[in-house]
Chains A and B, each alone.
Chain A
């Protein structure tokens, strides 16, 4: 079995890589560009912020990103109300000329957990305005179903708090979400290591989005490669169909022909 024709399809667009990566927190733009390259990611997230008008000498992120190679997924990080998130998405569409947005509406600075009430409000408006909405949400089945019902192109439940590296804290919820919605399920946030990413993929998730796990690693380039391999390994493992778990042993070698 290969993954050659195993495409991730979001709103009719095909992607070969199931790993999506962020562009924040790198030591330099060069390091970020190299990590993106090595990760094999095709979708990368960016944030929308004011241009620094007093110091124009600074380099721009987009000098290091080939727009033909990557699909930019602007986020609404830092937005705490539906109004702010919608405003940010409209600006992102104008700046990037794409309808794809990673919608996040945060409820609390300490946990960065989503404010699902505001999230739903914002998602409704954005879907109506023609955006392709990929919402960052809690690992809540009912919420994911509601987001799908109003027309979101995917759902992106968190594995654990943003930047925490705690991994997939509630794999059972993720499984129920996978059984409940038809749109792609992408674990967004919480992944710390390659095994976390593989676990998400083995559960049957359609993809994983991460930033800190790569950018914050001691060697981000090596971690980008580890994540790429973990996503592929996890996907293959899921597709291959694992053995059932059993409590007792089951010998791998035949009993016949044993020495007397």
Chain B
């Protein structure tokens, strides 16, 4: 199915969870926050929050700033 990750169209297999997406991208879950369709998914729910066709996902982390 098709989803949008950080503004980029991506393909992911059906019934993937947020955890599957992060693992596939090799992103550790400790230091990020994930939003699906503008709603934050708490870390504890990464495994059971399943993604759907067309979902817009934002994965953010901390970078240098003032």
**Interface residues, chain A, CB within 8 Å of chain B?**
22-26, 32, 45-51, 53-54, 56, 60-62, 72, 74-75, 77, 87, 90-96, 162-163, 189, 209-212
Q: Which B19-38 residues have a C-beta within 8 angstroms of A?
A: 25-27, 31-35, 38
**Contact with B59, one of A45, A53, A209 (Cβ below 8 angstroms):** A53
Interface string of B34-66 (1 = CB under 8 A from A): 110010101100000000000000111111111
Give the B interface residue count (CB, 8 A): 26
- Centre residue among B7, B25, B58, B64 by max chain A CB count within 10 A: B64
- Given known A53-B59, A54-B8, contact A47–B27 (CB-CB < 8 A): no
- Given known A50-B6, A50-B7, A54-B8, contact A60–B61 (CB-CB < 8 A): yes
**Nearest-CB distance from B25 to chain A (Å)?**
5
**Contact with B62, one of A32, A47, A53, A162 (Cβ below 8 angstroms):** A47
- Given known A50-B7, A62-B31, A94-B40, contact A56–B26 (CB-CB < 8 A): yes
- Tell me if A24 and B62 are in contact (CB < 8 A): no
B61 neighbours in A (Cβ, 8 Å)? 48-49, 51, 60-62, 95
- Tell me if A53 and B65 are in contact (CB < 8 A): no
- Tell me if A72 and B60 are in contact (CB < 8 A): no
Q: Bound complex: CA of A24 vs CA of B10, how far in Å? A: 30
**Contact with A22, one of B27, B58, B65 (Cβ below 8 angstroms):** B65
- Given known A32-B64, A47-B64, contact A90–B6 (CB-CB < 8 A): no
18 A/B residue pairs, CB under 8 Å, sorted by A? A23-B66, A24-B64, A32-B64, A45-B65, A46-B63, A50-B7, A50-B60, A51-B6, A51-B61, A53-B25, A61-B64, A62-B31, A75-B66, A87-B38, A95-B61, A163-B66, A209-B66, A210-B66
B34 neighbours in A (Cβ, 8 Å)? 94
**Contact with A46, one of B6, B33, B59, B62 (Cβ below 8 angstroms):** B62
**Nearest-CB distance from B24 to chain A (Å)?**
10
- Tell me if B26 and A72 are in contact (CB < 8 A): no
A189 neighbours in B (Cβ, 8 Å)? 66
- Tell me if A94 and B8 are in contact (CB < 8 A): no
B25 neighbours in A (Cβ, 8 Å)? 51, 53, 56
- Tell me if A74 and B62 are in contact (CB < 8 A): yes
Q: Bound complex: CA of A210 vs CA of B65, how far in Å? A: 10
**Contact with B63, one of A49, A53, A210 (Cβ below 8 angstroms):** A49
B43 neighbours in A (Cβ, 8 Å)? 94
Q: Known pairs A51-B27, A77-B65, A95-B32; list 11 more (Cβ under 8 Å).
A: A24-B64, A24-B65, A45-B65, A50-B59, A51-B25, A62-B62, A87-B38, A91-B60, A95-B60, A95-B62, A162-B66
